[in-house]
Amino acid sequence: MSLSNPVLQAMALSCIRDDRVLFSDLTFALDVGQVLLLEGKNGSGKTSLLRILCGFREPDAGRVCWCGASINDSQYHADMAYIGHLDGIKKELTVLENLNVALALGQTGLYPLANALARVQLAGYEDVLVQALSAGQKRRLSLARLLVTKNRLWILDEPFTSLDKQGIKLTETLMTEHTASGGLVVLTSHHDLNLSGVDVQRIHLS
Amino acid sequence: MSLTHAFFAILRRDLILALRRRSEIANPLLFFVLVITLFPLGIGARPQLLQAIAPGIIWVSALLAAMLSLDSLFRSDFDDGSLEQILLSPHPVSVLILGKIVAHWLVTGLPLILIAPLLAVFLGMPQPAIGVLLLTLLLGTPVLSLIGAIGVALTVGLRRGGMILSLLVLPLYVPVLIFAGNAVEMAGNGLPVTAQINILIAILLLALVLAPWPTAAALKMSMS
């Protein structure tokens, strides 16, 4: 893997939706250990930008590079993980079955399944169907999915939604640890981000 | 994890999901059985006529049952975000999607084949034709799932895609219907059916190789 700086680069991005320019000429670069926080009011294009970064949406102008290569590369997909508004969790499957599928789709990460579940305080819920979990617990399960797979870039859309105070703190700790071990995070949030000792870039979309 | 592992993980996941949502298996099967049992009632006591049109009845019912089951292929994954995660996997999406299609066929196509002999006897189909009917169903129903997947992938993002789906997919089903129906009819008359069977095999292989790519591409399009 090349270590050309910066790792994630967006050049002159613009996004037009229904004849409305959400943002244009947006340029940023994110390096190892950095967090990018997207701010802005509802409808300002935060989620659209994240979906462009995921490759789900083509930018109307500009391009996104990962380690100097296009993000359509399979290397990028091996390096990134996305948690969107939708959890991507099957509610008819158990917690463990969901994580096993996530593991099969990605690459094995640092945490064994049991440790990841303990970390997000879902230990003992292994064989519980996800439909029996609360909204916050489902979010925690999404976090566990980030832990069991190996990814350098986390793209998180409103990760704090429906989490309790403890859950928010846990998410922040996980992000701090992730950046400390050479990871990158891009997120949108309406909460105040409390990450000590982490280089946080902010982009305000209006 | 390796690609084969991912393929079987998806296959296994979809089979477990189908077992936990049984209506998905029961619905097309029930439809298939009901349509075929209604035909003799509608036609009346004319066993000769019934026997003559039996291959057509069974195949048209199988086709409509397959159509009915198509929407469930990607719908729930699209709605809960699982499809996003599949598309973001570093593995080739077409192979993962093929896993989903295989699971879909095992759940909706295979039961039709298992119940078909009973229904064939019920319609008075001659003995040699029943074997050929099963063979054509075995070769033809996977094609229905494979081709249907392209249509569903194109329409899954639309709120009311059902109508467009039928219009997109039904014309592509016609060759299978023609060759399969013809093979069963010929077999009933004691004629050789090698040509039709060979063509069905060719269609199946072609669909197996070519369908997953457009499906994956269409899903990516539906995502944006």
List, as ranges, residues 69-88 from B with C-beta within 8 Å of A.
Answer: 76, 79-82, 84-88
Q: Do B81 and A84 touch (CB under 8 A)?
A: yes
Work out how many CB contacts closer than 8 A connect A with B.
Answer: 83
Concatenated DSSP letters of A129-171: BGGGS-HHHHHHHHHHHHHHB--SEEEEESTTTT--HHHHHHH
C-alpha to C-alpha distance for A123 and A173, rounded to whole angstroms: 18
Helices (H), chain B: 3-20, 23-43, 47-70, 75-80, 82-87, 93-104, 110-122, 127-155, 162-188, 194-210, 212-223
Contacts of A93 in chain B (CB under 8 A): 13, 16-17, 20
Question: A89–B82: do the CB atoms touch at under 8 Å?
Answer: yes
Does the beta-carbon distance from B80 to A87 stay under 8 Å? Answer: yes
Of A74, A84, A93, the CB nearest to B84: A84
Nearest residue of chain A to residue B16 (CA atoms): A93
Closest approach of B207 to chain A, Cα-based (Å): 25
* Residue recorded with tokens 């895609």: B161
Phi, psi angle pair for A202, to nearest 5°: -120, 135
Task: Say whether the peptide bond before residue A6 is cis (omega within 30 degrees of 0).
Answer: yes
**Model-level ipTM above the cut of 0.85:** yes
* pTM given for the model: 0.92
Which positions in chain A touch B16 (Cβ < 8 Å)? 92-93, 97
Low-confidence spans in chain B with pLDDT less than 70: 1
The yes/no answer on whether domain A8-204 falls in CATH 3.30.70.1560 is: no
B81/A85 Cβ within 8 A: yes
What is the residue-level pLDDT of chain A in tens, covering all 206 positions? 444 467 898 999 999 988 888 888 999 999 999 999 999 888 888 999 999 999 888 899 999 999 888 888 788 888 899 998 888 899 999 999 999 999 999 888 888 888 999 999 999 999 999 999 999 999 999 999 999 998 899 999 999 988 999 999 999 999 999 999 989 999 998 888 888 888 888 888 88
Inter-residue contact B6 to B14 (CB < 8 Å): no
Handedness of CA A135, A159, A163, A175 (dihedral sign): positive
Sheet containing A61-66, strands listed edge to edge, beginning at the edge strand earlier in sequence? A20-30, A8-17, A61-66, A69-70
Question: Dihedral, CA atoms, B200, B205, B207, B213, nearest 10 degrees?
Answer: 180
